[in-house]
Amino acid sequence: MYVKRLSLVNFRNYKKLQIDFNRKYNIIYGKNAQGKTNILEAIFLCSTGRSHRTKKDAELIKFNEDAYYIKINVCRESADSEIEFYYSKIEGKKVKINNIPIKKNIELMGKLNTVMFSPEDLSIVKGSPSERRRFIDIAISQIKPSYFYNLQRYKKILTERNCLLKDLTKNSKLKSTLEIWNESLADAGAKIINERKSFINVLNEIVKGKHKDLTASNEIINIQYQPSIRVENSWKVKEIKDVFLKRLEENFEKEIKTSSTLIGPQRDDLIISINGNDVKIFGSQGQQRTVVLSLKLSEVEIVKVLTGKLPVLLLDDVFSELDEKRQKYLINNIDGTQVFITTTEKELVNLYRNKSEISLYEIENGKIINAIN
**30-69: contacts with ligand ATP (CB under 6 A):** 30, 32-38, 59, 61-63
Cβ atoms of 200 and 225 within 8 Å: the answer is: yes
Q: Which is nearer to ligand ATP, 32 or 218 (CB)?
A: 32
CA angle 151–74–79, rounded 5-degree value = 95
Partner that binds at residue 38, options Mg ion, ligand ATP, none, CB closer than 5 to 8 Å by kind: ligand ATP
Cβ atoms of 114 and 48 within 8 Å: the answer is: yes
Over the window 282 to 321, marking each residue x when it contacts ligand ATP by CB under 6 A and - when it does not, the resulting string is: -----------------------------------x----
Partner that binds at residue 142, options ligand ATP, Mg ion, none, CB closer than 5 to 8 Å by kind: none
Q: Walk across the sheet containing 221-226 and list its strands.
A: 221-226, 269-274, 277-278
**Structural Rg of the chain based on CA atoms:** 22
Q: Which stretch binds Mg ion (CB under 5 A): 17-25, 34-42, 92-100, 201-209?
A: 34-42
Helix 129-143 × helix 36-48 angle, to 10°: 60
Partner that binds at residue 22, options Mg ion, ligand ATP, none, CB closer than 5 to 8 Å by kind: none
Number of chain residues interacting with Mg ion (CB under 5 A): 2
Residue 181 to residue 201: CA distance in whole angstroms: 30
Partner that binds at residue 326, options ligand ATP, Mg ion, none, CB closer than 5 to 8 Å by kind: none
Partner that binds at residue 63, options Mg ion, ligand ATP, none, CB closer than 5 to 8 Å by kind: ligand ATP
Instruction: Report the chain's terminal Cα–Cα distance, integer Å.
Output: 20
Minimum CB separation from Mg ion for residue 284, in Å? 24
Q: How many residues does the chain have?
A: 373
DSSP class of residue 99?
Answer: T
What is the binding site for ligand ATP (CB under 6 A)?
A: 12-13, 30, 32-38, 59, 61-63, 317, 342, 344
